[in-house]
Chains A and B, each alone.
Chain A
């Protein structure tokens, strides 16, 4: 179904349309939140908050001003920032924690797998060292492959600022990873 039609139905109170719209966008929203927060449980909470907020204010969404993706990602960035600001203790997912502790018992992983995991861990750690603003820019550019005008609209910044942030993030990551 066409997205604008789906949104219209959501605004008129069609619960099934809301569920469809959620199914369509929960993955991208979760991944963006995860890319910024680097933590699964926090990303889950933010995803839920984003959709509660979005569906409560869907009538305010103006398709003439931005695409639905841009509008939703703006909320995601805002909620992720709030989450980071309020966070003073790291969240640990007990399942992930127990899995990582039991990994040694599950058998010896292949060398290639171990290498790719190590490389991923290195990149992930480097991304984690970026400032939140640079991380947001990288997430939107690398993960979501958005254009600079789109990123500018989401982060409410001039395009030149976004270009500068992406460039700065590129330089920092290169320094950290090479």
Chain B
């Protein structure tokens, strides 16, 4: 009888990783050797037991993983830019638009305030001022401010300290 099969050979036999020639040699030996057959049976039983036990030990997939797609999609820029993602992000765009509008309004307000403070009128500023207060007239100048008609116009307009003078009607009225 040939030499006993070593442990590595037996394990490889069970796992079917022997070459065809090695497998044939092992088969020939196993036919005649009860010890090696018994040892082989022990390895086969162990692998069978592990194969049955180990996969069953793995837990079921938690619900957090099963429902985890939205969190993953949110981390992928390519998917965030997709149409469905854009729908979710539309409120963000509105917020940016509103913020920009507010910034422009603030800039205009500050500019008007600065212009009034300096007391140097310009036609454009006068026209803006008049439309903002909704009481525009041909005679409207910084020296003769219009009547404040609305609370918003009141906020925009810083009235001069002195009382408004009467319009220079005499200059235009001919006898």
Contact = CB atoms under 8 A, between A and B. Distances in A.
Interface stretch (B79-87, B124-132, B158-166): B79-87
B11 A27 contact: no
Interface in A31-82: 31, 34-35, 40, 44, 47-48, 51-52, 55-56
Contacts, number: 99
Contacts of A48: 68, 71-72, 75
A129 B84 CA distance: 47
A47 B68 contact: yes
A15 B53 contact: no
A94 to B, nearest CB: 13
A27 B65 CA distance: 8
Interface in B26-58: 43, 46-47, 50-51, 53-58
**Chain B interface residue count: which class?**
35 or more
A167 B43 CA distance: 11
A55 B70 CA distance: 13
A44 B67 CA distance: 12
Interface of A: 13, 15, 18-19, 22-23, 26-27, 30-31, 34-35, 40, 44, 47-48, 51-52, 55-56, 119-120, 123-124, 127, 138, 142-143, 148, 163, 166-167, 170-171, 173-174, 177-178
